[in-house]
Structure 1
Amino acid sequence: MTDALLGAVQQGLEIVDMGRELRVGMPQSPNHPQFWHTLPRRHGDMTRADGGSAANDMITMGTHVGTHIDALAHVSHDGKMYGDVDAAQAGVGGKYVELGVHTIEPMVRRGVLLDIAGLKGVECLDGGTEITVDDLEAAQSAASVTVDEGDVVLIRSGWGSKFPDGAPYVGGPTGVPGVGEAGARWLAERRVHAAGADTIAFERLAPGEGHALLPAHRVLLVESGIYIIEAIDLEEIAAKGWAEFTFVLVPMPIFGATGSPVRPLAVRTR
């Protein structure tokens, strides 16, 4: 008996890759180590007797660089992480054993796109704009979808179109659009599994204030146990008009880490 999922795969799938290419010099939060890639061995550095040669690579990077997922160990508040875990004690030994990224199970879930920029008829929201609960509900209604428990909700501000420009994507003096505390609570009340956005920090960054306050991270990661995915490329999926799809994401199982680079996919049958 053919598995239904395998049957769908054999009939053909359409896949949108929502991960950013990892490139030296790409925009990122200044709070994390930059991405670096080099070739310690190039073709011809050593050649075998039969003429064969191999090249290899070395990379260094922070785990919150490029498209990535925040583990529950990433943020604490008043000394506590999700589940009332003592943050200082949990970090003894240099690994977050209980809430590290290795504890995130592979995701094959219903994905929902809430296209706020599309709702407002703009290429991208202005820096520092707060995406409100009314915006989230209006985008849900416009797309004829309902956010349900266990979903992965992706919020498009259009800010991702600035990624190739470098510094403007980071925001700095302009700020960055995103949900605030109220929007995060709206997601938490619906018990979503994860929430993501096309911006550098998921939530609204006020102009000139950087990462000084991150209430949505507190609400989602610390209070609710909801994962956050940042710097997702949502332009293609928005252009296709996909409001609902199968979402696939597998973090790297880096033991005790606070996050991981990821390559999220949106999948639909042809």
Structure 2
Amino acid sequence: MERENMPTTAHTSAGDPLLAAVRAGVTIYDLGRRLYAGMPQSPNHPAYTHTLPRRHGDRTRSDGGSAANDLILMGTHVGTHIDALAHVSQDGKLFGGADAAGACVGGLYPEHGVHTIVPMVCRGVLLDVPGALGLESCAPGYEITPADLDATVKHQGVEPAPGDVVLIRSGWGRHFADPDREVYIGAESGVPGVSEAGARWLAERGARAAGADTIAFERLAPGQGHSVLPAHRVLLVESGIYLIETMELDELARDGVHEFTFVLAPLPLFGATGSPVRPLALVSAHGREAPQG
């Protein structure tokens, strides 16, 4: 079920502002994490594994050419990924009041699956919470409150608007490459992020999607893991707002980029509850967001 029907037509005339921005120079920030075996992930999902069932030299053509092929196994909520509306239910209901059991047809979600998410080319806003609070990172288990979000908006001078993708930086992303992957997962320490009140703040501003540099988007209380996820309920089930998790947001914050053109396209996995993604932030050579046409 497409929550909103956004235009996807590309204009190629000589006067197109998107083409002009590309010619003038665009800085591309890669907001996706590298996928590799052993990376930190939620224990609720199948881990990423990669192998080569065919290697160079296993079979050689008559002209000396050879090829290598891959086999990948992973959950759709591993690494940087987007949650579809089929991912979370509350009291047996999905977004729009759909019956969660009835919405699943033959093991697929034809009306709520990730294939229904229209590719995003829109305004993106980074809310660098620790940057606004004068911190390197939010503390383990820290709840990012509406007051924190208001303070960040005031500090940055960039206000989220309806239809934007809003990215919340907690600073926790610096732990992603820690040799002990349990540090990033934070089951015992807790993980900073918004909870119910912060999620309602985002919903009230009409965000199209919300993302974070943490494994479950929202605050995880110390020692509680994924036992309760109220922000998922508020955003996915009550508001139809997609969630993007495990993002790389430190480079944007380092360069003071708080407004940009956001680009994301999920894999069209029919009926799936989520998809790996590689979101991008585009900024013109003059430090302003690239125009969108």
Query: What is the TM-score when the length of structure 1 is the normalising length?
Result: 0.99
What corresponds to 1:152 in structure 2? 165
* Superposition deviation, residue 92 in structure 1: 3.0
What corresponds to 1:205 in structure 2? 220
Match of 1:30 among 43, 46, 57: 43
What corresponds to 2:263 in structure 1? 248
Equivalent-residue separation in structure 2 for 1:109 and 1:240 (angstroms): 20
What corresponds to 2:176 in structure 1? 163
CA-to-aligned-CA distance 1:165-198 (integer Å, 9 cap, x gap): 1210000100100001000001001111000000
Aligned residues: percent identity?
67
Equivalent-residue separation in structure 2 for 1:269 and 1:12 (angstroms): 6
Match of 1:234 among 243, 246, 249: 249
Matched, 1:88 2:101: yes
The answer to whether the Cα contact below 8 Å between 2:114 and 2:268 also exists between their aligned partners in 1 is yes
What corresponds to 2:130 in structure 1? 117
Equivalent-residue separation in structure 1 for 2:160 and 2:24 (angstroms): 28
Number of equivalent positions: 270
Equivalent-residue separation in structure 1 for 2:184 and 2:214 (angstroms): 8
Matched, 1:129 2:142: yes
Matched, 1:77 2:70: no
Equivalent-residue separation in structure 2 for 1:81 and 1:37 (angstroms): 33
* Superposition deviation, residue 146 in structure 1: 0.8
Matched, 1:178 2:193: yes
SS in 2 for 1:172: coil
Amino acid across the alignment from 1:64:
H
Higher helix share: 1
Match of 1:103 among 116, 126, 139: 116
SS in 1 for 2:72: strand
Aligned residue runs from structure 1 range 186-201, under 5 A: 186-201=201-216
Equivalent-residue separation in structure 2 for 1:252 and 1:243 (angstroms): 27
CA-to-aligned-CA distance 1:21-57 (integer Å, 9 cap, x gap): 0000000000000000000001001011110000010
* Superposition deviation, residue 123 in structure 1: 1.8
Amino acid across the alignment from 1:168:
V
What corresponds to 2:34 in structure 1? 21
Equivalent-residue separation in structure 1 for 2:168 and 2:17 (angstroms): 30
- Structure 2: state its 5+ residue gaps: 1-12, 286-293
Equivalent-residue separation in structure 1 for 2:90 and 2:255 (angstroms): 39
The answer to whether the Cα contact below 8 Å between 2:132 and 2:156 also exists between their aligned partners in 1 is no
* Superposition deviation, residue 7 in structure 1: 1.5
The answer to whether the Cα contact below 8 Å between 2:191 and 2:219 also exists between their aligned partners in 1 is yes
Structure 1 vs Structure 2 CA RMSD: 0.7
Match of 2:234 among 219, 222, 225: 219
CA-to-aligned-CA distance 1:117-167 (integer Å, 9 cap, x gap): 111222211111100000001001111011110000000000000000121
